[in-house]
């Protein structure tokens, strides 16, 4: 066997290793410096400068220039935040303007233009040329079907496959038919019965939460009603109707999901509706309500001076009771009420307009919550569907 010996100068080898380490450290330091410099430039251009402009705009909003916020350049998150701030300022400015206009109408006795025809449009389920007796018969037949469907769902459980299919159909179609009939109480019962079968645990949870709220109980409602009647007396207005309702569980859950809200963030769980004789009375009552209760600024809507596109007209305001509970008050005339319930401004017409998706639980609530659904003879519905009853 041979022996291989390698001779190398140890000092030169160490010097070579040191040079390579220094080169590597220098390269690493340059890379870190370039990364930090790039991050600093990006931070200045995308975050720091736009954030300063956003804070300046917010400061201007604090001084009263609500809609003057400019959208900064930079990160999309800051641009989105600035856009939301500007939207909030614009809404606040518009709401304050409408509120001031409404108070001015109440104090000066000004009124807005009223649509020429406030009468309800004929029911959409009545075919053209149908006689009054035919229309009444079709309404009665459809209502009996809906009552029968409601009782069927209320008597079944979530494990019944037939009831699940019926509940899904009710949620998508029958609820709208009940609203078209003006049967608000029946509509709410249908929604709740369908939700109890489709999502039993969710339904039970929301019912338990509502039951735990003190302001959904009769003593609280009677106290608020008495206060509102005192307000009407101060406004020297005799109401045609004073109604209230507690939003039903399915309607609350639908709103929580559609708007991403918690239960305590929903301000119309309890609502009062005041029907007064004239349009001027609406503003007089609004003025008195805002004197008695603290209004929520961004929750005021003047749909009388600024009607919705479908012609809906009413005053909506959310106010805070002395115990801190927030509730909604709607003020309208009998003509506005008829138009909203059965005319071109009815909510079911908006839901059924062409191009709309399959209807979910309707937004309009049933205010006549104490009127029970009267007993109806059982209707044999084999081969009969709401679509067969409609033109």
Give pLDDT tens digits for 136-174. Answer: 888 888 899 999 999 999 999 999 988 999 999 999 889
**What's the confidence (pLDDT) of residue 74?**
72
Torsion of CA 303, 305, 308, 312, to 10 degrees: 60
CA gap 190, 356 in Å, rounded: 21
Radius of gyration of the chain (CA): 32
Are 102 and 283 within 8 A, CB to CB?
A: yes
The pLDDT > 70 percentage for the chain reads 75
Distance of CA 188 to the CA centre of its chain: 17
> What token pair was written down for 378?
């059982």
Summarised one tens digit per residue, pLDDT across range 215-242 is: 999 999 999 999 999 999 988 899 999 9
Residues 6+ apart with CB under 8 A from 94: none
Are 95 and 303 within 8 A, CB to CB?
A: no
Residues 6+ apart with CB under 8 A from 142: 125, 177, 181, 386, 389
**What's the confidence (pLDDT) of residue 77?**
77
More confident residue, 46 or 271: 271
Give the up-direction half-sphere exposure of residue 253: CA atoms within 13 A in the CB hemisphere: 24
**What's the confidence (pLDDT) of residue 309?**
84
Summarised one tens digit per residue, pLDDT across range 57-114 is: 777 666 655 555 667 777 777 777 777 777 777 777 777 777 777 776 776 665 554 4
3-state secondary structure of 55: helix
**What's the confidence (pLDDT) of residue 357?**
38
Task: Average the pLDDT over each of 43-47, 126-130, 170-174 and give the range with the smallest value.
Answer: 126-130
Distance of CA 259 to the CA centre of its chain: 6
CA gap 94, 90 in Å, rounded: 6
Are 181 and 146 within 8 A, CB to CB?
A: yes
- Exposure string (b/e) for 223-240, b if CB count within 10 Å is 16 or more? ebeeebeebbeebebebe
Summarised one tens digit per residue, pLDDT across range 295-340 is: 887 788 999 988 988 888 999 999 999 999 999 999 999 999 888 8
Are 90 and 66 within 8 A, CB to CB?
A: yes
More confident residue, 352 or 107: 107
Are 352 and 173 within 8 A, CB to CB?
A: no
State how far the alpha carbon of 22 is from the alpha carbons of 19, 31, 33, 174, 295, in Å: 5, 14, 16, 80, 72
Torsion of CA 104, 278, 94, 80, to 10 degrees: 160
CA gap 275, 47 in Å, rounded: 53
pTM of full prediction above 0.85: no
Are 57 and 68 within 8 A, CB to CB?
A: yes
Residues 6+ apart with CB under 8 A from 343: 118, 119, 120, 121, 311
Residue 352: pLDDT over 70: no
CA gap 316, 302 in Å, rounded: 7
> What token pair was written down for 39?
């991050």
More confident residue, 294 or 109: 294
Task: Average the pLDDT over each of 19-33, 97-111, 260-274, 275-289 and give the range with the smallest value.
Answer: 97-111
**Could you tell me whether strands 270-275 and 326-332 are parallel, antiparallel, or unpaired per DSSP bridges?**
parallel
**H/E segment holding residue 264:** none
Q: Please say whether the dihedral angle defined by the alpha carbons of residues 384, 388, 390 and 391, taken in this order, is positive or negative.
A: negative
Are 389 and 127 within 8 A, CB to CB?
A: no
Residue 199: pLDDT over 90: yes
Residue 124: pLDDT over 60: no
**H/E segment holding residue 15:** helix 10-43
* Band (368; pLDDT cuts 50, 70, 90): very low
Torsion of CA 253, 257, 258, 261, to 10 degrees: 90
């Amino acid at each position: 066997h041979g022996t291989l010996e390698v001779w190398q100068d140890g000092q030169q080898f160490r010097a070579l290793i040191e040079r390579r380490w220094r080169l590597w450290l220098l390269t690493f330091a340059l890379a870190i410096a370039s990364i930090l410099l790039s991050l600093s430039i990006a931070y200045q251009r995308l975050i720091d400068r736009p954030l300063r402009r956003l804070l300046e705009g917010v400061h201007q909003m604090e001084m009263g220039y609500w809609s003057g916020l400019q959208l900064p350049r930079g990160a999309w998150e800051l641009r989105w935040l600035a856009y939301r701030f500007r939207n909030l300022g614009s809404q606040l400015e518009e709401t304050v303007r409408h509120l001031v206009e409404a108070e001015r109408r109440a104090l000066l006795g000004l009124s807005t233009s009223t649509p020429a025809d406030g009468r309800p449009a004929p029911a959409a389920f009545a075919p053209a040329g149908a006689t009054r007796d035919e229309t009444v018969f079709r309404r009665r037949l459809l209502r009996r079907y809906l009552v029968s469907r409601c009782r069927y769902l209320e008597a079944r459980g979530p494990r019944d496959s037939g009831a699940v299919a019926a509940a899904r159909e009710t949620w998508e179609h029958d609820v709208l038919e009940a609203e078209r009939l003006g049967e608000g109480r029946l509509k709410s019962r249908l929604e709740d019965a369908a939700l109890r079968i489709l999502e039993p645990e969710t339904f039970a949870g929301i019912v338990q939460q509502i039951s735990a709220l003190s302001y959904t109980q009769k003593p609280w409602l009677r106290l608020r009603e008495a206060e509102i009647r005192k307000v009407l007396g101060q406004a020297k207005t005799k109401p045609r109707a004073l109604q209230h309702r507690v939003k039903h569980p399915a309607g609350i859950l639908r709103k929580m999901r559609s708007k991403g809200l918690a239960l305590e963030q929903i301000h119309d769980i309890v609502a009062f509706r005041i029907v007064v004789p004239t349009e001027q009375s609406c503003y007089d009552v609004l003025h008195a309500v805002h004197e008695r209760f603290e209004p929520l600024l961004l929750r005021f809507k003047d749909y009388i001076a600024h009607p919705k596109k479908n012609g809906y007209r009413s005053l909506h305001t959310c106010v805070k009771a002395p115990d801190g509970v927030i509730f909604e008050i709607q003020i309208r005339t009998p003509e506005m009420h008829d138009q909203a319930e059965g005319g071109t401004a009815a909510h079911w017409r908006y839901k059924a307009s062409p191009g709309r998706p399959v209807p979910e639980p309707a937004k309009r609530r049933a205010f006549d919550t104490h009127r029970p659904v009267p007993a109806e003879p059982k209707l044999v519905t084999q081969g009969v569907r709401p679509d067969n009853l409609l033109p």
